[in-house]
Structure 1
Amino acid sequence: MGLLTSTITRTKLSLQPILVLRSLSSTLVSRLQIRSNMATTASPQFKKIQIQREDTTFDAYVVGKEDAPGIVVLQEWWGVDFEIKNHALKISQLSPGYKALIPDLYRGKVGLDVAEAEHLMNDLDWQGAVKDISASVSWLKANGSQKVGVTGYCMGGALSIASAVLIPDIDAAVAFYGVPSSELADPSQAKAPVQAHFGEKDSFVGFSDVTAAKSLEQKLKSSGVPHEVHIYPGSGHSFMNTSPDGIKRRKGMGLDDENEGAVELAWSRFSSWMSQYLYP
């Protein structure tokens, strides 16, 4: 818990990767290389595609109704793993139906422990990530989705808010426990409706704690866009991760809260927000 908290505080999602793990051992580097293709095998429900932007191509995973509104689903610092796929699958099944797309911001790499996830997040090209998201939005709009939203969790939550500022083609954003640094994006300049969710017990200072949530709310108010900021009593960081493996991982990080009611309420609010702005 302490390591992750200090990581979020140190990085603050700067546009320039902060190489805090230069002393990473060669063994860990080898492990990362071995795991580099772990995210490239799509679950049976997902269709793996490739998206072109500028001079690079990246993998993405799509699930849901073919001509439905699209939602770009952004990973936590772990990468495209089981939990982000769980979220995307659930989103695709929400009434009245969506096409969910997960862009692989880490290019196939997945962190299986905190040190690896920290290394991957610190190495992320943030400007490139925003371009990946923009290309994902364009792909959805070119492939049957008249309107497209963006959502994400932790690192992906911050990128969702940044998308509402930096990507003019999105129609709505929903962020879960993450706020971008001022270097990445200023929420007071948001151009799309933003809904955001935070846990009252979240202790990641400046990134997703209650103070950060309330500051975000003030900035969104000054932007003039429709917005909602919800804080869930008794819930901590990543409270939406409710799969057995997700719960085990949270407990391993000292996050032992479980609040089914908060999760259901957050999904209900998410569904209402997206249907309001993505359906005619």
Structure 2
Amino acid sequence: MAGEMVQFQSNGKQTEGYLAVPASGKGPGVIVIQEWWGLVPHIKRVADRFAEEGFVALAPDLYHGKTTKSPDEAGKLMMAMNIAETEKDLRGAISYLLNHPAVTSSKVGTVGFCMGGALSLYAATKNPQVGACVVFYGGHPNVKPELEKLEAPMLGLYAERDTFVTPEAARELERRLKELGKQVEIHIYKDADHAFFNDDRPEVYNREAAEDAWRRTIEFFRRHLQQKA
């Protein structure tokens, strides 16, 4: 079933997001965080796929109505983001989900792609209401998560050929998190490129890696998102 655009409170104003609810009418909550293109159809389809797996998924519109297909414009939109304001939008989205009658989990999961992957980890370090964090090749030069504050387990999904978020950077993040005593799983997909999950981009989409990463993500959220008491 298709989702719908909703509004939620964020930083004293209304922010929009795309909400997908499973056919059962209830399930654990997951925040789906966009790539640098904005809240495009691909991200809405990812939210719909979570709903098909039994989750209540909300993809907040962090660009507030703007989307692009141009890499140059996407880079400008990403770099123009006010990270503190974006964190408040994510906090509002988390609060909205946890208070939604369809959500059965006591905490939410966060998952994001590229820019959104960095924000998934960032949101998890800022919000103890995040119970599981998934990062698909996450990177943003202005997003600096305070890793010592991370309470949720993290699943990181990266690509061997990625020159933006390199395998070396992924292993360094893993090392730092383990040093801090955090729960972390990192997988680096052989022969995969950055954005391997995006099936709207045939030049980088890798079906085998995408399907395995999706399976791991669903299992991870099912394992870690507990029912409300």
Cα displacement (A) at 1:183:
5.8
Distance, in Å, in 1 between the alignment partners of 2:19 and 2:92 is: 14
- Residue-pair matches, total: 222
Distance, in Å, in 2 between the alignment partners of 1:99 and 1:156 is: 18
Which secondary structure does the structure 2 equivalent of 1:171 belong to?
strand
**Aligned twin of 1:38:** none
Ranges in structure 1 where 5+ consecutive residues have no aligned partner: 1-43
Q: TM-score by structure 2 length? A: 0.91
**Aligned twin of 1:79:** 38
Question: Which deviations, in whole Å up to 9, do the C-alpha atoms of 1:44-64 show, x marking residues without a partner?
Answer: 812211111232211011002
Say if 1:210 and 1:125 are closer, same or farther in 2 by CA, change over 3 A: same
Instruction: Give the aligned residue type for 1:80.
Output: L
**Aligned twin of 1:158:** 118
Is 1:175 matched up with 2:135?
yes
Is 1:91 matched up with 2:50?
yes
Cα displacement (A) at 1:107:
0.3
Distance, in Å, in 2 between the alignment partners of 1:45 and 1:279 is: 25
Larger displacement relative to structure 2 (187-196 or 114-123): 187-196
Instruction: Give the aligned residue type for 1:246.
Output: R
Distance, in Å, in 2 between the alignment partners of 1:180 and 1:168 is: 22
Larger displacement relative to structure 2 (212-221 or 142-151): 142-151
Instruction: Give the aligned residue type for 2:189.
Output: Y
Cα displacement (A) at 1:225:
2.6
**Aligned twin of 2:179:** 222
Say if 1:118 and 1:218 are closer, same or farther in 2 by CA, change over 3 A: same
Q: TM-score by structure 1 length? A: 0.75
CA radius of gyration, larger in? 1
**Aligned twin of 2:208:** 261
Contact 1:189 1:223 in 2 (8 A): no
Cα displacement (A) at 1:277:
0.7
**Aligned twin of 1:63:** 20
Say if 1:91 and 1:183 are closer, same or farther in 2 by CA, change over 3 A: closer
Larger displacement relative to structure 2 (176-185 or 258-267): 176-185
Contact 1:201 1:237 in 2 (8 A): yes
Q: Normalized per residue, which structure has more strand?
A: 2
Contact 1:188 1:221 in 2 (8 A): no
Contact 1:203 1:209 in 2 (8 A): yes
**Aligned twin of 2:194:** 237
Larger displacement relative to structure 2 (48-57 or 77-86): 48-57
How do 1:5-84 residues align onto structure 2 when only pairs under 5 Å count? 45-65=2-22, 66-84=25-43
Question: Which deviations, in whole Å up to 9, do the C-alpha atoms of 1:61-87 show, x marking residues without a partner?
Answer: 100233311100000000000111121
Instruction: Give the aligned residue type for 2:137.
Output: Y
Match of 1:202 among 162, 165, 174: 162
Contact 1:148 1:171 in 2 (8 A): yes
Instruction: Give the aligned residue type for 1:196.
Output: G
> Aligned-residue CA RMSD in angstroms?
1.7
**Aligned twin of 2:82:** 125
Distance, in Å, in 2 between the alignment partners of 1:63 and 1:231 is: 29
**Aligned twin of 2:201:** 246
Q: Percent identity?
A: 34
Say if 1:238 and 1:142 are closer, same or farther in 2 by CA, change over 3 A: same
Question: Which deviations, in whole Å up to 9, do the C-alpha atoms of 1:111-141 show, x marking residues without a partner?
Answer: 1211111111111111111111111111111
Instruction: Give the aligned residue type for 1:194.
Output: M
